[in-house]
């Protein structure tokens, strides 16, 4: 059974269709890299899944629960945004307590390795307003992984992180994937895509151009690096590689 199911999802802003008839199914335990140029619809697709944006057409299901007015499905979703900002005057510990209150503290992995590896456990009394961009990303990463999500959405997760923290985060992605979590990750870094992705979803002008494994992309184009294979892929007939839902 699919973990996440998009059926003909479209989003229109005024006259502009940011996302057009997006259909895809993502299964448990797979990592999908959502890539594409700026303004291609990646963020809109993710926001539709998270319920931050209301789809104009189509429907989305997470574990069989329709994304709509009932927010209960978000118990199963973890999200790390590209840019994290929090209330300046709260401390990290207070923010985590708030999220524990909302999500249910029994799900919280208080001794999660990510919190220690990123050093967040040593900053619990720090005010959020005093954190650097990288430190805020670390807090955001901890919150995304903390409640044992079955769907994890990471938007440019390593942007702003130091190399050691970025590697810890990528290791955590590999670990959580082994538990059956479906991971959707947007990234502009091809090394990250190559290292993590079971499949690549390429969007352009709001349309899904292809949804294939890295091996399939490389095999189809004959290039041995994704950075060359993906542009080559787009010059072929990409629509043939979009799965039918």
Check residue 17 for interaction with other proteins (CB under 8 A). Answer: no
Site for other proteins, residues 131 to 150, rule: CB under 8 A: 143
Check residue 52 for interaction with other proteins (CB under 8 A). Answer: yes
CA-CA distance, 157 to 168, in Å (whole number)?
Answer: 11
User: Total residues contacting other proteins (rule CB under 8 A)?
Assistant: 32
Query: How many Cβ atoms are within 10 Å of 151's Cβ, its own excluded?
Result: 22
If the CB atoms of residues 51 and 58 are measured against other proteins, the closer one turns out to be: 51
Beta bridge partners, 90, equal none
Crossing angle for the helix pair 226-235 and 214-221, to the nearest 10 degrees: 70
- Are 239 and 77 spatial neighbours (Cβ–Cβ below 8 Å)? no
End-to-end CA gap in the chain: 13
Check residue 36 for interaction with other proteins (CB under 8 A). Answer: no
Among 88, 130, 179, 227, binds other proteins (CB under 8 A): 88
Among 64, 87, 113, 180, binds other proteins (CB under 8 A): 87
Check residue 106 for interaction with other proteins (CB under 8 A). Answer: no
Q: How far is the CB of 201 from other proteins (least distance, A)?
A: 20
Check residue 53 for interaction with other proteins (CB under 8 A). Answer: yes
CA-CA distance, 183 to 166, in Å (whole number)?
Answer: 16
Check residue 77 for interaction with other proteins (CB under 8 A). Answer: yes
DSSP H stretches of helix in the chain: 42-50, 92-103, 113-117, 133-146, 163-178, 190-196, 214-221, 226-235
If the CB atoms of residues 5 and 143 are measured against other proteins, the closer one turns out to be: 143
The piece of 93-101, 110-118, 160-168, 212-220 that touches other proteins (CB under 8 A) is 93-101
Check residue 54 for interaction with other proteins (CB under 8 A). Answer: yes
The piece of 34-42, 75-83, 118-126, 232-240 that touches other proteins (CB under 8 A) is 75-83
On the 0-12 / 13-18 / 19+ scale of CB atoms within 10 A, 220 is middle
If the CB atoms of residues 57 and 97 are measured against other proteins, the closer one turns out to be: 97
Q: Distances from the Cα of 31 to the Cαs of 50, 113, 176, 185, in angstroms?
A: 17, 21, 10, 7
> Where on the chain is the footprint of other proteins (CB under 8 A)?
13, 47, 50-54, 71-75, 77, 79, 81, 83-90, 94-95, 97-99, 101-103, 143
């Amino acid at each position: 059974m699919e973990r996440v199911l998009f059926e003909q999802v479209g989003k229109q802003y005024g006259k502009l269709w940011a996302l057009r008839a997006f259909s895809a199914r993502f299964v448990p335990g797979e990592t999908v890299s959502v890539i594409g140029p700026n303004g291609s619809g990646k963020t809109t697709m993710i926001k539709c899944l998270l319920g931050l944006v209301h789809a104009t057409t189509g429907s989305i299901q997470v574990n069989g629960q329709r994304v709509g007015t009932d927010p209960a499905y978000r118990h199963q979703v973890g999200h790390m945004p590209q840019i994290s900002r929090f209330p300046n005057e709260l401390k990290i510990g207070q923010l985590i307590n708030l999220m524990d209150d909302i999500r249910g503290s029994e799900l919280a992995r208080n001794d999660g390795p990510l919190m220690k590896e990123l050093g967040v456990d040593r900053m619990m009394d720090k005010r959020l307003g005093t954190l650097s961009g990288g430190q805020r990303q670390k807090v955001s990463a901890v919150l995304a992984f903390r409640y044992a999500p079955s769907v994890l959405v990471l938007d440019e997760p390593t942007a702003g992180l130091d190399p050691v923290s970025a590697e810890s985060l990528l290791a955590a992605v590999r670990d959580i994937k082994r538990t059956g979590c479906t991971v959707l990750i947007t990234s502009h870094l091809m090394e990250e895509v190559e290292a993590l992705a079971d499949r690549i979803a390429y969007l352009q002008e709001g349309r899904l151009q292809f949804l294939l494994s890295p091996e399939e992309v490389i095999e189809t184009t004959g290039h041995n690096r994704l950075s060359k294979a993906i542009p080559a892929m787009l010059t072929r007939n990409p629509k043939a590689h979009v799965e039918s839902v």
